[in-house]
Amino acid sequence: MGQKNNNKSLSFSESVNFMVDRALTVLEIDSGISAALKACNSTIKINFPVEINGKIEVFTGWRSVHSDHRLPSKGGIRFAPIVNEDEVEALASLMTYKCAIVDVPFGGSKGGLLIDPSKYKRDDLQKITRRFARELVRKGFLSPAKNVPAPDMGTGEREMAWIADTYKHLHPEDINYSACVTGKPIAHGGIVGRTEATGRGVVYAIREFFRNADDVQAAGLKPGLGGKRIVMQGLGNVGYYAAKLLDEEDESKIIAIIERDGLLTNENGLCIEDVRMHINEHKTIKGFPDATFSENGAAGLEIKCDILIPAAMEAQITKKNAANIKAKLIVEAANGPVTFEADDILRQNGVTILPDAYVNAGGVTVSYFEWVRNLAHIRFGRMERRHDEMRGAQLLQAIESMAGKPAEDWMQKELVYGANELDLVRSGLDDTMRNSYQQLKEAYNSNDNINDFRTASYVVAIKKLVRSYIDIGVF
Ligand code: NAD
C-alpha cells in the first residue's frame, strides 16, 4: 500500500489508487503487477485553435487510455471549466474497473475539454467540438474499434452527434462509423434508454441493495425503499433520472436537492419533475415554490437522511465534512464523490457506501448495447417482436380452450406482448446491475479482510483484469 502525506489533499488519481490498493493488498498481488494495473497506458494533451467571433482562441483537451486489454477503450468526454490531466486519468482508470465489474468487454478511457460550455453559442461549440474530435481521430484516440467516447458532464447527445459526423467525414469508407461514439441521438444511431441509463442504473443498484435484507440491516436501515428519506446532490443527467424514478416509481421522498447555487429542502418530499421544470425555466433552483431555499448547498450533504446520493462531481465528501455526514447509505452516482480520506472516516462511522465503479455503470452498459446495435446495423427486437406476440397469442388461445373461458385482461396484456427495444435495454441493464451486485456481495462475504463494498468491487474487477492479462500473456 502506498504512503499518504496527511498534510496535503490527495489528487483524484491518488485517491482512486489508494482505494484500489486496499483490494490489491487483500488479493496479495505483487507490487509489479499492482503498478501495471494502476498505470495509465497513454494520455494525450491537445491544444488547438478555433476562431470565435473573429478572434483565435486556444482550447486544451485530454484523452486518456487507462487500459486496452479489451478494445475499444471506452469512456465519456466532459466539457468543464475545471478539467486536468490527473482528473482525466483518474476517470479513465475508473472506467477500466467499471467495465470489468459489469462485464462490459471494453478497456477504460476518458476525455476532457477545458471549457465552460455555457459561455459559448451553439455554433461555436459545434466548431470547437468538431475540431477536438478531428484531433482525436487523427491521433488514433477516436474510432469504433479503438476508442469510443460517450457523454459526461457538460456533454450530451448533441455533442456526440457532432463527433460521429466528424468521424464519418474523415472515414466515409468505415461502414461502422456510427459506433465511433455512443450516447448519440436516436435518429443518428443512438439507442432508446441511453440518456436515462446511468440514473436508471443507479436506481436498479439501490433496488438490488434493498432486496438483500442482510445488507439493509447491516447498514442500519429499515426494510423497503418506499418512504426512505433521500438527499440528492446534482440534478443533471444522472441525478435527474435517478431522482425522478425514486420519486415516481419507488415512492421514496427526495427531501433535499443540492445544486450549484444552493439547497432546496422539503420534509414532505420534492416533486422532481417540478424542480426540473423550474431549473429549465429559471436556470436556478432559487425561487422554487414548495421548498425552503438556502445558499449553503454543502450543508445539504450533512442533513440527517437514509440515503445520500452525490450525483454531481468528484471530491464532494472530503476529510473536512465526512465526520458530519449522517446518511446511513451513500450511493455514489457521480465519479469519485468521496475522497480516500473521507472514505476512511465514513467507514469508521459505519456508513455503508455503494461505490461509483458499480453504481454509475449503467451508462457504459447501455453504451455497450448501443455499440453492439451499431455494429449489427439493426435495432434490438426488430426480428423477433411480432413473432413473440404471435406465440403469446397462441399460448393464450391454448389456455382459454383448456380453461373453457376467456382469459383475464392482465393475461391478454402480458402474454400477447413482444418486447420492444426499450424493454430489452431496461431488462439488460437491470440484469447487469443485479448480477454485478451479487458478484460484489459474494466477494464481500468471501474474505474477512474485505469490509466494504468498494474494496469488494475492486477485488471483483482486479481478479477479472489479472485473468485477462494472464490470458493474453501480459503477466
Ligand atoms: P451533468 O453536467 O448533466 O450534471 C451535473 C449536475 O451537477 C448539474 O446539474 C450541475 O449544476 C450540478 N453541480 C455541479 N457542481 C455542483 C456542486 N458543486 N454542487 C451541487 N451540484 C453541482 O453531468 P452528469 O452527466 O449528470 O454527470 C454527473 C456525474 O456522474 C459526474 O461525476 C459524471 O462523471 C458521472 N457519470 C455520468 C455518466 C453519464 O452517463 N452522464 C455516466 C457515469 C458517470
The stretch 109-117 carries a mean pLDDT of 98
For the residues 269-297, what does the mean pLDDT come to? 96
Average pLDDT of the segment spanning 66-91: 97
pLDDT for the residue 3: 44
pLDDT band per the 50, 70, 90 thresholds, residue 1: very low
| Mutation probe of ligand 1 site: the residue of 260, 284, 368 with most atoms within 8 A of C-beta | 260
Tell whether ligand 1 has an atom less than 6 A from the beta carbon of residue 312.
Answer: yes
| Residue 77 backbone phi and psi in degrees, to 5 | -120, 125
Tell me the pLDDT band of 45, cut-offs 50, 70 and 90.
very high
Active site residue 222: no
Of these residues, 38, 74, 98, 110, which one is catalytic? 110
The predicted-structure confidence for 238-248, as pLDDT tens digits, reads as follows: 999 999 999 99
User: What pLDDT band is residue 154 in, cutting at 50, 70 and 90?
Assistant: very high
Residue for cell digits 475508473? Answer: 94
Task: In whole angstroms, give the CA distance from residue 187 to residue 189.
Answer: 6
For residue range 259-271, what is the model confidence (pLDDT) as tens digits? 999 999 999 999 9
Q: In which residue are the cell numbers 475499444 written?
A: 72
Residue 2: pLDDT band (50, 70, 90) is very low
Q: What is the mean pLDDT of residues 365-392?
A: 96
Q: What is the pLDDT of residue 4?
A: 46
Range 48-76 average pLDDT: 97
For the four alpha carbons of 315, 318, 321 and 327, in that order, the dihedral sign comes to positive
Overall average pLDDT of the 63-87 stretch: 97
Query: What is the C-alpha separation between 376 and 393, in angstroms, rounded?
Result: 29
Ordered domains of the chain (ranges, CATH): 42-188 (3.40.50.10860), 197-359 (3.40.50.720), 382-418 (no CATH)
Q: CB within 8 A of 37, min separation 6: which ones? A: 20, 24, 29, 462, 465, 466, 469
The per-residue pLDDT of the chain, averaged, comes to 96
User: What digits encode the pLDDT tens for the residues 340-354?
Assistant: 999 999 999 999 999
236 lines ligand 1 (CB under 6 A): yes
* Pocket-testing residue among 77, 102, 152, ligand 1, by greatest number of atoms within 8 A of Cβ: 152
- The 10 Å CB-count burial string (b at 16+, else e) for 350-375 is ebbbbbbbbbbbbbbbbbbbbbebbe
Q: pLDDT tens, 188-243?
A: 999 999 999 999 999 999 999 999 999 999 999 999 999 999 999 999 999 999 99
Average pLDDT for 431-458: 97
pTM equals 0.95
Query: Quick one: average pLDDT of 132-157?
Result: 97
Average pLDDT over residues 379-387: 95
